[in-house]
Amino acid sequence: MNPTPRIPGHRFLHSPGPTRVPDEVVAAMARQPTDLADPRVPQVIEACESGLKRLLHTERAEVFFYCANGHGGWEAVIANLVGEGTQVLVPGTGHFSDNWAAQVEAYGGRALRTPYVEGRPIDPAAVEAALRADTRHRISAVFAVHTDTASGTTSDMAALRRAIDAAAHPALFVADVVASLAAAPFEMDALGVNVVMGASQKGLMLPPGLAFVAADERAMQAALANTGPRFYWDWQRRRSDLPYRKFCGTPPLAHLAGLEAALGLIALEGLANVHARHARLAQAVHAAVGCWAEGGAMHLFTTAPAARSVSVTAIEVSPGIDPEALRTVARERFQVAIAGGLGPLAGRAFRIGHLGDVNEPMILGCLAGVEAAMQVQGVAYGRGGVDAAIASLAADGNG
């Protein structure tokens, strides 16, 4: 069926999502479906709910899974929390905060934005100022993207919590952890986050197709007060022990089986080890890109080292370099798939994903393949990038 000739070997997938699906997850998803009344169905769902709660470090939130992608997850948040005229504060993180805000507005909400400065994370002071300015508490929620996949920037959720508290504002704290979950630490209850949403195809190591929302009691109350039209996304309707109701119809059995397996893999490795691995691999990538940057043709897009995501690294290139052409050579000739720039970064950047089921030689092979593509394209990159990544990994005590 595939008209293109055979491409040999393991293909290196270094988009920041979808990410590689581990064999154990593939095997779990390959299991045949059961009838929906089979008692094994609620067992799998329960394992997914409790496993996800452990991953989110929450005991008080309820979990809703959706047969949907990440934008579906956003819509689930919006449909429940945003009615005509609802005000939401969306701190600027770049492409994804822009898009979430646009989606809020499509639902008739009003999205206030704090300014986004390229290469920088959310400015908590701006959030605090915006909330303080809202003396009548018209802002019902702060919608914050933890890691903006487009910019490769991770914002400080604890600082955001402190900003909300400092403003003494009752807005709900809503976090998008699509690109950070199971890669960077995140503790829902400790952060006082009221709603978290995420999706399957990044740190959770599943194919796209499953989204989730975790909502606490305050958020559930806010949703109850929202009379906007919804059915599929509606949290109240999904409050049930019956799988068919929990999912507003047929549950996505393959994805649930896969999620149970993926959560088991994370538990087996140990969440702290998973986080450490992501940090270690990100550091190796940053070391390599630091060398490349010495050639003068590119630089790490996120300026503050602490804000560089452990999931994905955005590299801004100089004018005259075509990142899309580079990607094509990397993918088609060297079997390394990297990501491009999104939104304002389109044509100005490329991105290397390093999250999910990845390890040292995958990252090293990716970096080396990108170097090969840069050579072919005549990009003036500083030499020694892979060597720097190797040294970074070899020096790491837990490697």
264 to 293, contacts with a copy of itself by CB under 8 A?
264-265, 268-270, 273-274, 277
Does 221 bind a copy of itself (CB under 8 A)? Our answer is no
Encoded amino acid at 254, one letter: A
Interface with a copy of itself: number of residues (CB under 8 A): 118
Q: How far apart are CA 346 and CA 341, in angstroms?
A: 4
Q: Which is nearer to a copy of itself, 1 or 306 (CB)?
A: 1
Q: Which is nearer to a copy of itself, 211 or 300 (CB)?
A: 211
Q: How far is the CB of 305 from a copy of itself (least distance, A)?
A: 23
One of 143, 331, 349, 388 touching a copy of itself (CB under 8 A): 331
Q: How far apart are CA 98 and CA 117, in angstroms?
A: 13
Binding string to a copy of itself for residues 152 to 191, with x set by CB under 8 A, is what?
A: ----------------------------------------
Tokens representing residue 317 in the block: 């290139």
Per the CB < 8 A criterion, the answer to whether 172 and 219 are in contact is yes
Stretch that binds a copy of itself, among 106-114, 137-145, 162-170, 314-322 (CB under 8 A): 106-114
Stretch that binds a copy of itself, among 54-62, 123-131, 224-232, 293-301 (CB under 8 A): 224-232
Encoded amino acid at 172, one letter: L
Does 248 bind a copy of itself (CB under 8 A)? Our answer is yes
Alpha helices in the chain (DSSP H): 23-29, 40-56, 70-81, 95-106, 124-133, 157-167, 188-191, 217-224, 235-238, 243-246, 253-269, 271-293, 323-328, 360-377, 385-395
Q: Is the Cα dihedral 80, 81, 83, 89 positive or negative?
A: negative
Does 108 bind a copy of itself (CB under 8 A)? Our answer is yes
Stretch that binds a copy of itself, among 126-134, 158-166, 292-300, 381-389 (CB under 8 A): 381-389
Distance of CA 114 to the CA centre of its chain: 21
Per the CB < 8 A criterion, the answer to whether 335 and 369 are in contact is yes
Q: How far is the CB of 297 from a copy of itself (least distance, A)?
A: 16
Q: Which is nearer to a copy of itself, 185 or 264 (CB)?
A: 264
Q: How far is the CB of 390 from a copy of itself (least distance, A)?
A: 5
Does 310 bind a copy of itself (CB under 8 A)? Our answer is no
Q: How far apart are CA 286 and CA 164, in angstroms?
A: 32
User: Which residues, numbered 45-84, are part of the site for a copy of itself (CB under 8 A)?
Assistant: 47, 67-72, 74-75, 78, 84
Q: How far is the CB of 119 from a copy of itself (least distance, A)?
A: 23
Distance of CA 156 to the CA centre of its chain: 15
10 Å CB burial of residue 241 (0-12, 13-18, 19+) is exposed
